[in-house]
Structure 1
Amino acid sequence: MTTRTPGNIHLKAARVKAGFSSQSALADALRIGTRQVSRWERDDPPWPQPDQRAALTALLGQTMEQLGFTDPDSGLRGAGAAAIATAGLAAVPIRPGAATQPASVAVDFRAVTHAHRHLYWSLAPAALHPAVIAHATLGCAFLAETDGQTHRSVATALAETWLLAGRIEFFDLNKPEQARATLQRALQAASEAQDDLMGSAILAHTAFIPGWAGQREDALETMAAARAYARRATAGAEFWAWLDAVEAECETHCGNMPAALQLITRAEETLDTGPAHARPAWMDWFSPVRLAGFKGNAQLRAGHLPQARATLLTALDDLPEEEGKQRSVIYGDLAAVEAADGRIQEACDHLRKALAQLEITPYAAGRQRVRDVRRALVPHQDQPCVRDFDEVNFGWNNTVSALAR
């Protein structure tokens, strides 16, 4: 008598825990065949493709090892290199519930989502974040009480809301692991909405987390998943250029400057010749000017100081008035250029402008740029211009804010 083996009980348990009651439900969320999921739930399951690994770890909140897979190269790679802690976040309902809410709930919920999107650029992130999380929690409740097109509309707005929360946590609050958990929720909501373009945007944001930590393989693997989702959607030139810019920034943080500069060149070419589909309304974080900021930073890190200076000054001139957060970053990068070039007075001038902008629009990325340049100025800290800057930088407001981080 043949004894039936239990198969990959780890994946099955994680699937059920995440709300996918059948193999076909998980297959639908991953946009693959049910047979593939069936193969994964057998003994000795095959190693999934990069985009599938990224989607699995994001949707189920566990590493590939925890899901019962063995890396053939004996190295644990993947978008979820560590288990994603999700404590404290509302669960995203995986399937539509009974339609107890009217269709108008989607319109009302979406309106608040749009308002939060616009407020991000002017309101202090620490003040906005609790409201965004509360709105996401409400959206999860609505998702369980809607069906059909209303359910999908709520899910789309919910994915954007979770994405905004994750952006605040990563870029503004310096909480990458919290952002990882939040972006997992965003991806689950995008799956409910069957929105491949939103899924691509969420995965690309997720790639920042390992990328900024210098974990190049994890970042590139997650970017491969983001590109796979974008290919399934109607992505325009700006979206494809942004994906290249994200990957370029990850390569920059990992010290691979030739690859970063090559990606930025490709992004510039894509903006000129790529598909002319309109970008989605929620993609308000990228533009040709923003790409110039990416480029200037990459040139700076590559040691191309004259080119970086020219690129950043042009970007600063072209930057819209309302882009205060990006302005603080560009001032910080310009200060870094001048510090590296031995122009200490000019570096301090840019630092003071960055601080003035940060008083108006607080931004952790901009603050970190200022901090990094000040550290580079330690050998020159007895110069009058550095001392004058310190009088502002180490005033009560800035010092208390820094210690509170």
Structure 2
Amino acid sequence: MAVTVAHRRLYWSVDPAHLLTSVLEQVGLGALLLRETDGTVRERIAGALAESALLAGRIEFFDLRRPDDAAETFVRALQFAGEAEDQLLGAAILAHAAFVPGWAGDREGATERLAASRAYARRGAAPAFMRAWIDAVDAECASRCGDGNGALSLISRAEAELAADDGQHPVPDWMNWFTPVRLAAFKGNTELAAGQVKRARATLGAVLDTLPVTDVKQRSVVLGDLAAAAVAAGDVEEACRLAEAALGELSRTWYATGMDRVRDVRRSLSQWQDQACVRALDDRLYGWATTLNAISLR
């Protein structure tokens, strides 16, 4: 469905709440159409609906911070992928679903979903690119559940997967959220969570230099992680500068995940809150635009 392709492209540049409404409307209409079809046509429509529902779940979870809504949407996406008999879409949906318990500190729930994701990936002869991404998701969930060493091991495995990729299995065209530089961003965040501050600053700095200026959402996250690393290194002024730079990206395109990073940084600066740079950050953080976005999307 051409609309699905257009939505994937728009995801990186438009207001997430408006895009979510559009995508969910497409899913609703498509679900009605699905009842009236069978055979190959039914599978094609179901596949397009699975893609659309996956995108909706991503917006709910990462852009709008609505984990409960996202969990329900991922279940619906998986149902559509089952109708389409698309193993790789199933693997992608299940790995996304793992973020919900993983970010809540539920390692068992995340691990169960990731095990299912890997099973679907094996059945679908997943390319190395997808296997590496699943490992990266697993690493982030492990980090958030306090398993820093396990997370670093998973990142190393993901890097090995990409290094050994022979290119024989093509990456699905809908898998547009993962690149080698994004794996490096996962790595930097994992190093930071594991207390490897110097390595994290080097990794994340290289990521920021490589990310396209148009990749506003990811840049806000990386800047937030760099700011957190600066705080850990005791470099308060640099932390504030980087956090303000992240806010600059967020003023261009709202991304709840990026704002969460900035808020975490500000909380870690409480002992320096009387410094001029922290006050300047507060002036930017609590400006009209960011405050209204934060309130309206909760």
TM range (shorter): over 0.9
CA contact (8 A) 2:251 2:289 kept: no
Paired residue for 1:311? 203
Indicate yes or no: 2:215 matched with 1:334: no
User: What CA distance in whole angstroms lies between the structure 2 residues aligned with 1:332 and 1:165?
Assistant: 24
Shift of 1:174: 1.0
Give a deviation string over 1:215-273, Cα, whole Å, max 9, x none.
11111011000000000002111101000000001101101000000000000010010
Query: What code does the residue aligned with 2:123 have?
Result: R
* Residue 365 (str. 1) matches residue 253 (str. 2): no
1:375: which partner in 2? 267
> Which aligned pairs between 1:6-405 and structure 2 lie closer than 5 A?
110-276=1-167, 277-404=169-296, 405=298
- Does structure 2 conserve the Cα–Cα contact (< 8 Å) formed by 1:335 and 1:347? yes
RMSD of aligned alpha carbons = 0.9
* Contact map agreement 1:236 1:275 (CA 8 A) in 2: no
Q: Distance in 1 between matches of 2:294 and 2:254?
A: 12
The structure whose residues are more often helix, as a share, is: 2
Q: 1-side partners of 2:110 and 2:281: how far apart?
A: 37
Count residues in correspondence: 296
Give % identity: 55
| CA-CA distance at 1:275 after TM superposition | 4.6
Q: Which structure has the higher relative contact order (CA within 8 Å, separation 6+)?
A: 2
Q: Distance in 2 between matches of 1:400 and 1:361?
A: 14
Unaligned runs of 5+ in 1: 1-109
Gaps of 5+ in 2: none
Equivalent pair of 1:125/1:362 in contact (CA under 8 Å): yes
Deviation at 1:149, TM superposition (A): 1.2
Counterpart amino acid of 2:272?
Answer: H
Cα drift, residue 403 of structure 1? 2.9
Cα shift at 1:175: 1.0
- Give the equivalent residue in structure 2 for 1:31: none
Letter in 1 for 2:267: R
Q: How far apart are residue 204 of structure 1 and its match?
A: 0.5
- Distance in 1 separating the partners of 2:264 and 2:13: 24
CA distance in 1, matches of 2:271, 2:42: 59
SS at match of 1:255: coil
Alignment partners' CA distance in 1, 2:20 and 2:213: 24
Question: Matched residue of 1:177: which SS?
Answer: helix
Q: Deviations for 1:26-82, whole angstroms, at most 9, x for unmatched residues?
A: xxxxxxxxxxxxxxxxxxxxxxxxxxxxxxxxxxxxxxxxxxxxxxxxxxxxxxxxx
1:16 aligns with none
Say if 2:87 and 2:121, in contact at 8 Å, map to a contact too.
yes
TM-score of the two chains, using structure 2 as the length reference: 0.98
